[in-house]
Chain A
Amino acid sequence: MAGNNSKRTFKGGAHPFEGKELTEHLKLEVMPNPQTVIVPLSQHIGKPAKPLVKKKSEVKAGEVIAEAQGFVSIPIHSPVAGTVTKVQMGPHASGFPREEIVIKPAEEDSEPVLMEHLNPETASAEQIKDRVREAGIVGQGGAAFPTFIKLSPPEGKKIDYVMLNGAECEPYLTRDYRLMLERTDDVVQGLSLLMKAAGVDRGCIGIEDNKPEAIAAMRKAVEKHSSISVEVLKTKYPQGAEKMLIKAITGREVPPGKLPLDVGVIVQNIGTSLAVFDAVVKGEPLISAALTVTGGGIKEPKNLIVKVGTPLQEVLDYCGGLTSDAVKVIAGGPMMGVAQYDLTAPVMKATSGILVLSEEEITRKAETPCVRCGKCIDVCPLNLMPTKLARLSQLERYEDAEDFGVTVCMECGTCAFVCPANLPLVTWIRLGKAQVMAMQRNRKPA
Chain B
Amino acid sequence: MTKETLNSQHKLELTATPHVRTTMSTQRAMWFVVASLLPCLISAVVFFGTAQLAIIAVSVGVAVLSEALVKKIRKQDLSVNDGSAVITGLLLALILPPNFNLFFTGIGSAVAILIGKELFGGLGYNIFNPALVGRAFLQGAFPVQMTTWHNPEYVVDSLTQASPLALFKFADATQKAGFDFTSYLDDMLIGNIQGSLGETSGLAIIIAGVFLIAMGIVNWRIPVSMILGVIIFAGILHLIDPARVACPGYHLLAGGFLFGAVFMATDWVTSPLTSKGMWIFGLSLAFLIVAIRSYGGLPEGVMYAILIMNGAVPLINRYTRPEIFGVKK
Interface residues, chain A, with chain B CB atoms under 8 Å away: 14, 16-17, 171, 243, 247, 253-256, 258, 311, 313-314, 317, 322, 324, 326-330, 334-344, 355, 357, 361-363, 365-366, 368-375, 377-378, 381-385, 387-388, 404-405, 408, 411, 413-414, 416-422, 424, 426-427, 430
Contacts and interface: CB of A to CB of B under 8 A. Distances in A.
A367 B123 CA distance: 12
A368 B124 contact: yes
B158 interface: no
A355 B26 CA distance: 28
Contact of B24 (A256, A330, A385, A418): A418
Interface string B301-329: 00000000000000000000111111110
Contacts of A255: 326-328
A247 B326 CA distance: 10
B144 interface: no
Interface of B: 1-3, 6, 9-29, 82, 122-125, 216, 219, 268-275, 278, 321-328
A interface: dominant SS:
loop
A368 B26 contact: yes
Given A327-B11, A337-B19, A420-B26, A385 B325 contact: no
B273 A363 contact: no
Contacts of B273: 372, 374, 377, 385, 387-388
B212 to A, nearest CB: 12
B interface: dominant SS:
loop
Nearest to B277: A374
Contacts, number: 178
B16 A385 contact: no
A382 B325 contact: yes
A250 to B, nearest CB: 13
Contact of B324 (A14, A384, A422): A384
Contacts of A373: 29, 219, 268
9 contacts: A247-B325, A326-B10, A344-B1, A363-B22, A368-B25, A369-B124, A374-B278, A408-B325, A421-B26
B21 A416 contact: yes
Given A253-B325, A313-B6, A328-B13, A417 B124 contact: no
Contacts of A363: 20-23
A368 B27 contact: yes
Given A256-B327, A342-B3, A372-B269, A420 B18 contact: no
Contact of A371 (B1, B9, B269): B269
Contacts of B27: 365-366, 368
B20 A328 contact: no
Contacts of A361: 20
A329 B14 CA distance: 9
Contacts of A405: 324
B12 A337 contact: no
Given A328-B12, A365-B27, A369-B123, A254 B18 contact: no
